[in-house]
């Protein structure tokens, strides 16, 4: 599990290039929206690496297990590369913890169990995002 709050923590996180590309876009959007250069006071982005991490919800600042009821929105992220036909699929879920604090969970869809995948599929707002990785 990797906790990201700004570009420095992203670069030092050990995240894959695919994960860095996704998180960088979300950080840019949040920085522009709130005119800040870190999200540490308003939330965090967690990159989860395996199914077991999803059940350890207290480690990523949640008070209750992930459910369709506590997801604000889900982005399904489809990554492709200019030079290859590979497609990487991630999900990013936003969970509002309080009025002024939210966390984002980013994870490859293939680490989700069918039950966990169903939770993300039941979110009220689901967006598909298509990104091309820079080479």
Tokens describing residue 97 = 């913890």
At residue 87, the pLDDT reads 76
At residue 85, the pLDDT reads 64
At residue 86, the pLDDT reads 65
At residue 23, the pLDDT reads 96
At residue 134, the pLDDT reads 66
Low-confidence ranges of the chain (pLDDT < 50): none
| Dist CA 86 CA 71 (whole Å) | 29
Helix, strand, coil percentages for the chain (3-state, nearest 5): 35, 35, 35
At residue 135, the pLDDT reads 55
Strands (E) located in 37-113: 43-47, 73-81, 87-98, 101-108
As a whole number of angstroms, the longest Cα–Cα distance in the chain is 43
DSSP state of 35: T
At residue 51, the pLDDT reads 87
């Amino acid at each position: 599990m990797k906790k990201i709050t700004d570009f420095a923590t992203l670069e030092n996180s050990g995240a894959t290039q695919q994960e860095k590309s996704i998180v960088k876009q979300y950080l840019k959007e949040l920085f522009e929206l709130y005119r800040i250069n870190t999200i540490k006071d308003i939330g965090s982005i967690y990159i989860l690496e395996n199914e077991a991490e999803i059940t350890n919800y207290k480690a990523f600042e949640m008070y209750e297990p992930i459910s369709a009821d506590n997801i604000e929105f889900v982005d399904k992220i489809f990554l492709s590369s200019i030079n290859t036909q590979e497609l990487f699929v991630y999900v990013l879920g936003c969970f509002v913890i309080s009025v002024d604090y939210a966390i984002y969970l980013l994870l490859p869809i293939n680490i989700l169990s069918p039950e966990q995948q169903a939770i993300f599929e039941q979110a009220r707002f689901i967006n598909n995002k298509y990104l091309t990785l820079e080479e």
